[in-house]
């Protein structure tokens, strides 16, 4: 008996959101998406009962990317879902699962296995947050008052985190089946958009720490302190950095590049085998795998840093220096030397501009860290893009079957799945790798130059790309509402 036969009775019984039997009207999809989004914002403001103080955010700079909220019911965000996806993609890519997602039975097993892995990751991620270190400090007074002790309070906190992790799993499933887009994409857009709005309008703090608009108002009114003459080199650097001009330029350039890259495509002509004059095109976009594989790459880096924080919380200064040397600032702990320093992504300009006093690291250390980050993102972006395309049924074989089943064919070629697959193999694998590597490069450059609201480069890329795809999906839905016959072409 194989593992599929042994696990089938359990995996197929995993609770799931019922899939709609027919076409879901566009208005109902928007309504479901809006309800889930409101619930998400509500849960990010429901703080964990029993926590004393705010603690330290283990996700740190990855928080906007992994969604959720520090110290709230959604403490874990989409982290367990993304980590489970990484494990499944690696196992699937190595051919260890033996599942054919085009087979309904195997597809059900895959979904059940994914849910089970997410629950396992919720436990593995939540346990050290609650019981190790001081990431979510329990209230000792509450434990004494209730007679359950510190351990009892920690168990209550863990239970809340576990429920929040399961809730976000099924909220994602509701959006995927009944709403527009995916829940993961929706939550990322929500978190990053909050940071972008704050980066524009945040009114507290001094110049360089407040939002763009208040900063320029303070500069115009002369409330920004000692401003060097603006026409000198010091004045230009002041406007670029403290005045956040560089952040504005970077954000605009990233937005323009992503939108342009989304529009660059190779269009393969199609014609209907039985309906004369019915023609179409299959677009192979430059960013064919979308920007979503970048979540997997950054989540892998986040898990590596997560491990380093756990080791430091347990070993403290006895942690070998070659493994990691840590420092703290404004409640956040971060590596400043050792292996975990070189494996940490570049988060901002201060991490690499040593000549401006942004970091105390030696220039060779900074260059090595940038090189590791670039290599990790470019190569990882290409690899995970390939995994994503294969598991999302976007590869040459799956695409050929979809074209064949829709009754379309490539003019000048026989109407055969194998022939269509060979044509697709000329474009899809190469474009997938190039697009994944390009997105990885853009993410690192955006982090290095800084963006509005100090949003991570990956978060900004994801938000722009997801919003663009949501726009395309909404336009597609409206087209299907006007012309129901188009549903067959869109496989809906």
- Give Dmax (Cα) for the chain: 80
The phi-psi region of residue 208 (left if phi > 0; otherwise alpha if psi is between -120 and 50; otherwise beta) is left
Write out residues in the chain with pLDDT < 50, as ranges. 486, 489-490, 492
Q: Give the pLDDT of residue 479.
A: 67
Residue-wise pLDDT for 148-205, tens only, equals 888 888 899 999 999 999 999 999 999 988 888 888 888 888 888 888 888 888 776 6
Q: Give the CA dihedral 316, 317, 320, 321, nearest 10 degrees.
A: 120
The residue extents of the domains of the chain are 3-11+27-179, 245-492
Contact 178, 28 (CB under 8 A): yes
Q: Give the pLDDT of residue 290.
A: 72
Distance CA 256, CA 305 (A): 31
Show the tokens assigned to 460.
């900004």
Distance CA 450, CA 444 (A): 10
Q: Give the pLDDT of residue 302.
A: 82
Whether pTM > 0.85 for this model: the answer is: no
- At the top level of CATH, which class does the domain 245-492 belong to? mainly alpha
Start-to-end CA distance of the chain, whole Å, equals: 36
Distance CA 426, CA 127 (A): 47
Q: Give the pLDDT of residue 62.
A: 67
Residue 239 to residues 173, 242, 244: CA-CA distances in angstroms? 45, 6, 6
What number of other Cβ atoms are within 10 A of residue 168's Cβ? 29
In sequence order, which residues have a C-beta less than 8 Å from that of residue 265 and are 6 or more positions away? 283, 284, 285, 286
Q: Among candidates 300, 338, 345, 341, which has minimal Cα distance to 322?
A: 338
Distance CA 153, CA 27 (A): 44
Q: Give the pLDDT of residue 492.
A: 46
The fold adopted by the segment(s) 3-11+27-179 is Preprotein translocase SecY subunit (1.10.3370)
Tell me whether the CATH fold assigned to 3-11+27-179 matches the one assigned to 245-492: yes
Distance CA 207, CA 217 (A): 10
């Amino acid at each position: 008996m194989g593992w599929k036969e042994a696990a089938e009775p359990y995996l197929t019984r995993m609770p799931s959101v019922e899939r709609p039997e027919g076409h879901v009207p566009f208005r109902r999809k928007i309504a479901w998406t809006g309800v889930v989004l409101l619930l998400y914002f509500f849960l990010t403001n429901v703080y964990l009962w029993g926590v004393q103080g705010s603690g330290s955010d283990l996700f740190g700079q990855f928080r906007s990317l992994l969604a959720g909220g520090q110290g709230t019911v959604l403490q874990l965000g989409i982290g367990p879902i993304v980590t489970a996806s990484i494990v499944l993609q690696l196992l699937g890519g190595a051919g260890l699962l033996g599942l054919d997602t085009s087979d309904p039975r195997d597809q059900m097993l895959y979904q059940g296995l994914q849910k089970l892995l997410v629950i396992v990751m919720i436990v593995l991620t939540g346990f050290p947050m609650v019981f190790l270190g001081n990431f979510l400090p329990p209230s000792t007074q509450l434990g004494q008052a209730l007679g359950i002790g510190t351990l009892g309070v920690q168990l209550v906190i863990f239970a809340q985190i576990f429920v929040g992790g399961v809730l976000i799993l099924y909220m994602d499933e509701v959006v995927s089946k009944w709403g527009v887009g995916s829940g993961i994409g929706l939550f990322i857009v929500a978190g990053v958009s909050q940071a972008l709005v704050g980066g524009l309008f945040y009114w507290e703090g001094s110049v360089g720490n407040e939002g763009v608009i208040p900063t320029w108002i303070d500069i115009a009114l002369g409330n920004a302190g000692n401003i060097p003459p603006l026409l000198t080199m010091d004045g230009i650097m002041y406007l670029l950095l403290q005045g956040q001009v560089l952040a504005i330029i970077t954000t605009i350039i990233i937005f323009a590049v992503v939108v342009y890259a989304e529009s660059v495509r190779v269009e393969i002509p199609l014609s209907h085998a039985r309906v004369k004059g019915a023609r179409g095109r299959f677009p192979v976009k430059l960013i064919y795998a979308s920007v979503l594989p970048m979540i997997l790459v950054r989540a892998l880096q986040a898990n590596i840093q997560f491990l380093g924080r756990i080791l430091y919380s347990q070993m403290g200064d006895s942690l070998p220096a070659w493994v990691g040397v840590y420092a703290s600032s404004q409640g956040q702990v971060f590596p400043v030397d050792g292996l975990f320093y070189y494996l940490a992504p570049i988060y901002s300009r201060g991490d690499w501009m040593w000549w401006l006093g942004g970091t105390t690291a030696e220039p060779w250390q900074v260059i090595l860290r940038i090189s590791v980050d670039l290599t990790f993102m470019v190569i990882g972006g290409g690899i995970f893009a390939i995994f994503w395309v294969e598991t999302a049924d976007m590869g040459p074989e799956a695409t050929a079957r979809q074209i064949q089943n829709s009754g379309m064919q490539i003019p000048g070629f026989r109407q055969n799945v194998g022939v269509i697959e060979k044509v697709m193999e000329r474009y899809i694998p190469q474009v997938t790798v190039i697009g994944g590597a390009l997105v990885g490069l853009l993410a690192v450059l955006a982090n290095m130059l800084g963006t509005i609201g100090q949003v991570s480069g990956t978060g900004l890329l994801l938000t722009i790309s997801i919003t663009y795809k949501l726009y395309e999906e909404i336009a597609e839905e409206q087209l299907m509402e006007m012309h129901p016959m188009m549903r067959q072409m869109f496989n809906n």
